[in-house]
Structure 1
């Protein structure tokens, strides 16, 4: 392969893994048109089609899949070697990509990273706010953040937050008009605000815990969202009961803008973990971020 095509191979790997010219162009800092032209040039040079393009998605052809399998590991190894060179700098540098939900950013990540980012101006952090379960290896993230019981066993998981509690909440006006549910069964009589995760076809089943026992409740209502921020806003408007992490609504609970019910059914559970592949050597920048985030037990 001529040297002039090495960049094109890198671009191809990003497109094939992202399955999108838009996402790959954003990752590479290129325009979509430039990236598309590079892929056309590569296919013309090889004399074979590597990508199947539609108006909504991009997929690899059999030849493209074979090429990705051949070069993917080598490109990863090259990037790891380049990351390792930052150890020779006076201060660590580089971009760390993390996928996570929205609430954890303001509640845990930014408060813990504020001091580090000011001390190391050459470290950049890119947050992918996503409520689906992203494949951090395939999507080329350095790490992800999830609750502990949802992390694959082959990942290294580091606790970064305290125990959590869920809260069933609504506005005082909603409860004044509809009454408060006294048991889990009473939720069937209420307008509940549902959550649908991007990677799931079904609605989220509300998970309650009491005295070590789990209770799953399917609820119904007029509204369904895929972010807790929208659910909280709808609850504040009196549009129903939302079931969200208590940490995301502390201010609303303290001010009385939202009222919690069924609290005896919401026992604490293990909180958020930072997780990353066990086979990949962390860069100095990532190691600093990991150490800043993790809980230090006395």
Structure 2
């Protein structure tokens, strides 16, 4: 299957392009010249929508986020390798092998245990070794399909302390996991991520402070000091459809926007990879 098998509905594409233009303008309005990565959260949305934003948005939208490992793997097989995939869902140990084999996997943003980090590192190393030893890797090393490398990692921090939320506890647990990831050869510690309390997100505006964002920034600064880095060398991934403008004002390097771009999602049982 290739992207040529996907049909793009002109009206749907026009709506998506208009919506992403608006989101980009709102990001630029509060970013004060900083380069803030927009991750279009495409979970449960068809590959046709992703292809429309890749081909028709200006500039092309390259970064897309998925919550389910199987859905991400299927879409990665179907869509062009120029897409930069982000796995942003709850990571299970059993997902690590399949995710590590996605060549254009840009990041995993939900690492919260050493075991998951070590498994992802192990499987990525095995995958890269298999590529380097393959005699049929000409397409892999072509300019349009570069050789895969390390996977970027955001450590997920449970800044709100909610039992239902994944993530490391702030403090010693976060510092320890960051040290582990920084030492693994096939992973790159990109920064920290949080999904804060819903009530705080809803109340967040560019003029108000969000306790989850402040906590993540403090944790980032502690980790940077521990690793001998400048704070700016570690990203903050925080902010979604409800609160991304406030997150950017608070220093976020990356925002994850889904429903504002793609519209409301239906039940997972009704989702289709392509339409």
The structure with more strand, counted as a fraction of residues:
1
Whether the TM-score (by the shorter chain) exceeds 0.5 is: no
Structure whose alpha-carbon radius of gyration is higher: 1
TM class by smaller structure: under 0.3
Q: TM-score, normalised by structure 2?
A: 0.25
Q: TM-score, normalised by structure 1?
A: 0.24
